[in-house]
Amino acid sequence: MITKQQITGLILAGGQGSRMGGVDKGWVNYQGAPLIQHAISALAPQVTELCISANRELARYQQLGYIVVEDIIKDFAGPLAGIHAGLAQASTDWVATIPVDSPHISQDLVAKLVACQQQTEAEVIFASDGEFPQPVFLLLQKSLLASLATQLNSGDGKIMRWVKQQKHAECVFTDKRLFENKNSPDDLKV
């Protein structure tokens, strides 16, 4: 059984925020708090250590008191590059990832991903809403770091393409609100 002590939480906050007007989405306010605070509040209780993948405003993220990592693969190579940086930093055998722009993370997200892993013995478990994969919601083994680096160095940053090359499993969540993301100013009104 994978325990909380074996899991690092990784918040993916390294994007360009192009649909948000180029601002760092982690610092955009939603319901009275920055999106990064929503992510921390949801994920921190579910893991033993927390890491933030960011490519801008690093000092500001560091003030939150958590490990902050920059992409090793530069030029905003996408969320797979953030996952790569987080895996490289993690001190645990497992890493659970979430995006910074999904403020409705459930308090049992990691437990459900772990339960799916226990049933399948997969190396990487991705969340889905039963209809579509949600590939930035993952539980994956740190031992996949080399495979991930190979994928990125080939120029392919597609998460699901990489996931499907590993021993993987799908974990279905019925509450689609979990995956709602705040990508644009209009999304913040909801």
Q: What is the mean pLDDT of residues 156-162?
A: 90
pLDDT band with cut points at 50, 70 and 90 for residue 190: low
Taking the domains of the chain in order of start, what are their residue ranges?
A: 4-189
pLDDT in tens, 9-54: 999 996 655 554 567 889 989 989 999 999 999 999 999 999 999 9
- Nearest partner of 87 among 101, 72, 75, 77, judged by Cα: 72
pLDDT in tens, 74-120: 665 689 999 999 999 999 999 999 999 999 999 999 999 999 999 99
d(CA 49, CA 69): 13
pLDDT of 171 strictly over 80:
yes
Predicted confidence at residue 78, as pLDDT, reads 82
How many residues would you count in the chain? Answer: 190
d(CA 147, CA 154): 11
Distances (CA, A) of 5 to 19, 96, 163, 179: 36, 12, 24, 25
Average pLDDT, the chain: 90
**CATH 3.20.20.150 corresponds to the domain 4-189:** no
Close Cβ partners of 71 (under 8 Å, ≥ 6 residues apart): 14, 53, 55, 77, 81, 82, 84, 85
Residue type, 135: P
Predicted confidence at residue 66, as pLDDT, reads 97
pLDDT band with cut points at 50, 70 and 90 for residue 6: very high
Predicted confidence at residue 189, as pLDDT, reads 63
